[in-house]
Structures are given as structure tokens and as C-alpha cells.
Structure 1
Amino acid sequence: MTVAVITVSGEPDPCLTSSIWTDGDGRSINCHVNYDKCDRYMEPGWHRVQSESGQNLTMPTFPVPVYSCGTKYPIWLKGDHPSLSDDIVDRVACVTSLSSTCHVSYQIRIKNCQDFMAYYLVKAKGCNERYCFGNAESCPQPTTQVPTSLSTEVQVTDTGVTGEPDPCLTSSVWNDGDGRSINCHVNYDKCDRYMEPGWYRVQSESGENLTMPTSPVPVYSCGTKYPIWLNGDHPSLSDDIVDRVACVTYYNSTCHASYQIRIKNCQDFMAYYLVKAKGCNERYCFGDTYECKTTPKSTTWPITTNTGPFDESATFRGSYKVRPDPVLYIAMAVVVIFLIGFAVAILLYIKKCRYVLCIFYSYS
């Protein structure tokens, strides 16, 4: 006969049902290697954490610096552990970032099981974020093998809240960011009319992640004639994929045309779903570097490095093809009409003069 043990809160007792994580040594506050680990792909639920030797470990209750616990952004317990007389308690777990000891927080639950603490943990929203446990001095050396008790390996088939592949894992990389700077005032013939629509992250040649400007950019910037800028704010880390409007700057308007794009905050970078520009020369702006390329490299410039199964053939096609400006056609038409009118006026004037002379001679 199976006996189900129920707690005061009416749920199965986590002291009996918690799964065991055995990778506790790699989660130590003193573990400063393997920065690529994260808990974004774990299964939410009740867990107890042990070292490889079987010692039960607890979460640190003080801020842990970045690059600890085998990750870049460690997660620590902001509060005390419950006593044995308590039932299941709610607590807050904080993520340390480069600028804050509690940049993001998660609601977790804990129960004191006398010999160990049971934790109800949720998925981290970003990589690289990871729960910290223990303070072991020893730390596993970097390895490609992940403990079987915890699914922390990056899977490119992971889907977000929207049910689509995670752009943080599948975005292609544009590495021509220096030429897209708001301070780049050369090569005005560039345009994004021939790009492949899809998810992108944009970097400078040095590998720095760049973002779209959120204020109007004047014409003849970003290596083009009509720059495209983000008319709105970037999403926060707690947001999922958001819809935004990108505006095209023109001579008489900062939003002469607009495009619907999508953005996701991937903590270390922004992922953008960009669509083709409808005209040349229109181009998406990124960054404000003063490095700006002055000469085209080729007529077909592959600038994407695919990091996932999507957009494998994405190239920046036609970057250096110059398309005539419609304004040029209008100007040429006006000139032609003016010349025709001028010629007609001359002919009428000559005809009139000849008529006057004829009358003069007839009376003389």
C-alpha cells in the first residue's frame, strides 16, 4: 500500500519527493570556472543539492559576486532559511549582475527537512544565471559533460513563452556594426533591402554587442542615406519577446516610414527580428562607435555568422548596389519641362518679332 505524505499546505512533502542534484561542488561560491553554465533549461520543481561526496548543501544568504558558482551571474538567497518548526516558506532569490547584487529576482520556496533543505526552484530567465550552493574550495575543472541530475546544457530547440525557438540561441550575428554606427557618415549607398528577414544580434569587429539607437538619427548616418532607428525602449530582462516600431529618417521627417520589428533581451545582448527595408538607401543603425569603414569590400558581403539552425545562408546582399533615388527622376522631369517651355517661348518670341517687322515694311 502506498502512503502519500501531505504537508500542512496540502501538497506532497518535499522532504520525501525532492530530486537530488549531485553537481553541488560546481555550484560553490568559490567556483570561478565554467562560466557558461546556466539554469535556464532545468525542470522547475523540488530539489535538494549535494556535493559529489554526498554532503547536503544550502544556498548562500549573502550577495555572491559575478563569475562565481560556475557561471557569470550567480543566484543567491535573499533571506534566511526556515527553521524546523516552519512549514514551506516563500523566499526571494536574487541574481547578481555587473551593476547590482539583485538585478533580477525569482520567487522560490524552501522547507527545512532537518538533515537538508528542500528548494522549489524555477527556471532562470537568462544565460548565464545559476543557483549557488555551498562553499567548497574545490571546483571541477572545465568539462563538456553536464551532470545527469541537472539539464543545464544549451539546447537550440528550447522554446520561449511564445512557443517559438529562443532567439537568444538561434540569432545570426552581423559583424559589420562599426559601419552601422550613428557616427558613420560615409558609404551612403548601403541599404538593407536585400537582407534575409530573421533574428540577428549585431557586433562590432572587436566583438562588442551593439544596440539600436532609441532617438532619431539624422540622414547620412549609419553608412546610408536614410537611417533606421528604434522608436521605443528596449525590453527588460524579465520581458519576453516584444513588438517594437523602427523608424526611417527622411529629409522632412524623423519617421517618414516605419517597420514592425521584434526584440528580446538576452542579458548579454539584444536579439532583433528585422525585416527587409522597402527602399534604398535605408539601413538599420547600431551603436555609436567612431570607427567607420570608408571603402566597400565587395559587391556581395556576407556579414552573418549563424549560431543556430536558422538563417544559415543569411547574407547582406546588394550592400553596394546603388539604386536611383525617386527624387532624382522628379528633378530630371522638371528640368526637361523647363527646357521645353523655354524653347517654345523662344519660338513664339521669334515668330512675334517677324510679324511686327512685316507690318513695318508694309507701311514704309
Structure 2
Amino acid sequence: MSDITRLEVAPSRFDPCYNYTTLDEYWRDIHQDPFQYSQYNDSLVEWSGWYRLYLNGQSAQMSEWCVSRVGCGGNLGLYLNGSHPRLEDGVVTREVFGSYMNSYQCGGYRSASIQVKACPGDYYVYKLVKPDLSIYKPSYCAVAFQNISSDPCYSYESMDRPWRANNESGEYIWDESFSWHGWYRLFYYGMDIRMPETCVSAYKCNAHLSLSLSGPHPHIEDGVVIREVQTGNYGNGNCIYKSKPIRVKACPGNYYVYELVNPQFWLSGYCTDVSTISQSVSTVSPNIITGSSITSYIDPCINYSILDNYWRNTINYWYQGDYIAEHDDTLVSWNGWYRLYLKGLSAQMPEWCASYMACGGFSALWLGGSHPQLEDGVVTRDIYGSYYDQGSYYRSDPIQVKACPGEYYVYKLTRPALSIPAPTYCAVLFKTPSVDPCNNYTTLDERRRSTSNTVYYGMCDYNVKWNGWYRLLLSGQNAQMPESCVNKTMCGTEEPFWLNSSHPLPEDGVVTRQVCVSSWKGCCGYTSHPIQVKACPGNYYVYEFVRPMFCGVYCASEYLL
């Protein structure tokens, strides 16, 4: 307990508000990952006197709210059974309950009571004691809330996501994958809506676990209040689980704002209650696009905004690390024509299915058709959005596209359909080879990649550092990627990769081909990132392999077709 230090800050030696020990240990936070820190045990601490809680240097307090499956650094998180006292209450006694980390039951344990006092300066002190020895690895929980620099009634983000309504179901969207940052006002297709105040059963609100408030909304005179967040289990409609508490405020104009946080339950989502819908005008958050506009000409090839967001790349995919769906193009104020870049290099929208949870959002938007030619002028193209393995699961509003001199495109982007969860327009960059890849490639001769290989080696091209172009060989002989289905567990892996269309002819130059993944869902159960291919003199092909989305292998056919 190296973080415990004795602090004497006032002349009174008897008032615990000025004679306490500072306790600043980050793992006590109820917002910490419960399975990352579980080695601490407060029954081993020699507690003596009064303590003031901090979290990372910020004043904190003991939690008054049970949070299911939270250990606060141990295996059982201890919290107050009751509210904190007021200044005029003096020293009070509060019961201490515990919630076991591997159980969803709140208040399943009871520890020794402690004394608490409210102090001038808006903080509390606690006379902590050794917890009940019958409890396994207990730890006192702490919680800190950010200081509010401005009134959240006038400083919030509008969130118009109608798929959160408690009459919606069928899809599984989880809020632990979103990036939450501050206060939100909820809308339903432009109309004001609130969180439910009663239990919502599982599989509603397009989530597995449906999050609602476990108590009523506050009144305006209450100011900012803290509310427990509850969720029902899978077996019945009872809300026995508790998520992290949130802050709520009632605002003039008969609406509420919520400080939403990342919940700890997998596949859980905040709900809205359709019975609370009222007419209101939604205000869209400020435009997050960075770029410049040129307004000298009418031609959109000259008069466009630059859109250069690295996270729009189709290769930014949730499987490749800790993914956060922190972007949502329904929140952007789109206006006019845009040209796409990726890290300063010219890019374009993909013409193929972009993978679910790629491109910085939850649903990746792609162009439903090929790009136009220069002579085509302005054309209209459908926009599709992906969901799991279905590339065209969603359909958004069509957009206009134009091909421009200089080999680039401009797009008249519009606000995507609000019925799509956190959609983002995707971008893809294909580098024009500086030298002919037919004369600048790496030879890849691995017999295990053969489509005739039935031995499972557990190969995984996701772990390979791909760099540039490759020519396939098998035992020194020319090989190529297969153009038809490869059975699951072939090519030395669980999920083989193959091309879903034919190879190019030499006169075609460099072309783009989609990569199919054979899986338990079928021959092309999934698609990975597309690759570039070129036919070369001498009757062979070269491939620009990239890091795939799945743990599979680029296959090689035994012979050239």
C-alpha cells in the first residue's frame, strides 16, 4: 500500500476532515477492467483512522452504487449501502455491502460498517476498517466524476440513433465498442426521447443486454444527479445486473442530457423509450471534417472539400486490435462535394463490400457499383452498409459521383440513413506501382499453401508482415491463387483465402480482386481486404498481398489455369 500517505492539513487534531490519510490507488476505480486487476486484498491492510479517496490525483468517493462483476482491484468490490451524509449530519455510520466479481448478484455479501463524514470543500472522509475475513479478497471501491466546466444542458452532443428504441430488436450492437466522451441528448428521427426508467428485457434495443435507468429522471431543481444503470439477464425480464452509474440532468425545455460511459457488459447497449417521444428539433454536432474548400468554380472537380481521415481506410478493422467505433457520419454536417485522401494520398470509395466495423465506425458504407468514366459526367450510385458478413445489409441514400481529370473522383456525400448504426463512408488507397511489379516481387514458395494440402498447420497470414508484391510458386513451379471455392481446413489453415473472380489478362494491367474466405458459413462466408493482381509476361501472376482480416491463408493452386 505504497500509495497511502499521512496528511495533516489543518490545525484541528480531532476533526477527521483535517486529519486523514490520502488513499490514491487507480485500481479501486469501478470503471477499471474487473479482470485486469484482481490481486489486491483490503483484509491484509492495517487500517488506522480516517481516509480521503483520490483516483489519479482527482478527488473521489466510495461508490453508493452496486456495479455487477466489479472487484475494484480484488475479487469483491465493497460499496456503501446508502447515500453519503450532508455537512450538517456530522459523522454517520453506513453499512458496507459487497458484489462478487464472478457473480452478477448485488449485495450478496455484507462487511463491517464504517463511519463517514462530509467535509467543507465537497469531499468525504471514511474511517475504513478491516473487511469481514469471511469475504475473499475484498476491496473498497472508489468512483470519481469529471468536473463540469459548462452547463451540460447547453454543451452536449445530439445522438439521433432510432435503432436504440426499446421496440427494436434483431441486431447485436454493443456500446462497449463506442467511444463515449461527455454528455448526450437523445433523439428519435429528430424527436426528443428519453432513456427508460424501468427494466428492459434482453435482446431489445438491438443489443443483447438492454441498459436502462433503475430510477426516475431528476427534476430541474435537482441539478446533476447520479443514476444506476440496470440490465436484464438472458433468462427473464428481471434487471438483476448493474452497469456503471451515469449522470443525468433535467434541462429547461423538457429534455434531459446523459453522461454516457463505456459499460462493462459485452454486447450491451443504452436504450431509449418510445413512449417518451415528443416533438423537438434535432441539432447536429459541429462538422468534424478537416479540410479546405475552393469556391471559385461550379465544376465539382475544382470546387470540393478535402476529406482526409486515416480511420476511413477499409484496412482499419476491429479484429486487428482494440477497436473503438468512435466515428459516426450521421453527426457530420455534410455540404457539397468531397475528394477523398488517406494520409495525404489520393483515395476513393470502395466498390466492394467493406467489412463490418471497418472504416472507424460500426457499419462501413461502400459504393454499390463501379465509378464513372470521365465522359459520364455526374452519375448517381447506391450506397450500401455492411453488418457482420452481409456487405449490403443496410442501404443508405444514394450519392452523386464524378470522375475528374487527373485520375480522381469527387463525391456529393450526404447524411447517411439514421436507421444505420454509426455508419461511416469508407475510403481505399491503391498505390500506383513505381516500378513494374512483374520485375519487382518476392517469391513465395510454401508447399503448405497448396489447395491439395489436407494437413492442418495452423497457418495464419494475419501474423505475416506483408510488404509489396509476391509471385506464387509450389516446389519451384508456377502457381496462382484459386478462382473457385477452396474447402474449409485446406491450405494448411482453418479458413483458406481465394479469389472470387478471374485473373486479369496482360493487357488489363493492375486490377483489384476481392478475396473470399471459406469458413463455417460457406465458401465465401466472409470477404477479406481486396488485393491487386497483375498478369505478367511468361504466364505468371503477381499479387500485392496485404494483412487479412482473419486468421487464414492465401492459397496457391497446383497449376496455372
Taking structure 2 as the reference length, the TM-score comes to: 0.26
Larger strand fraction of residues: 2
Higher relative contact order (CA 8 A, sep 6+): 1
Taking structure 1 as the reference length, the TM-score comes to: 0.38
**Which structure has the larger Rg?**
1
